[in-house]
Structure 1
Amino acid sequence: MPMRDIVQKTRHLVSFIITNPIDVASQVHIFIFGMRDGMTRYSLLLM
């Protein structure tokens, strides 16, 4: 894929994210499930 296409795709994704932000519940879900299993995740889920 040429660099120009990559830049255009990136610009499109950024503009979409700016005009249609992700809701807070989805942000928390992505953050928690993006973490590795371990004490940090366990501690956050207990709070």
Structure 2
Amino acid sequence: MESYNKGKAALAEQLGHMRVLTSDYPAQQRRLEQLGTAQQAWLTRSIP
């Protein structure tokens, strides 16, 4: 469970970093939003 929690935190951090790096690229921002939504949906269905 520890590795799951570490991975979950790392992914959230990396998504945030990518949002900063692509702040001037609207198409990438939309893709990152879709990725974040998919991540949340997966987390909802996975082990709490």
Q: TM-score, normalised by structure 1?
A: 0.41
Return the index of the structure with the highest Cα Rg: 1
The structure showing larger relative contact order (alpha-carbon pairs under 8 Å, at least 6 residues apart) is 2
Q: TM-score, normalised by structure 2?
A: 0.41
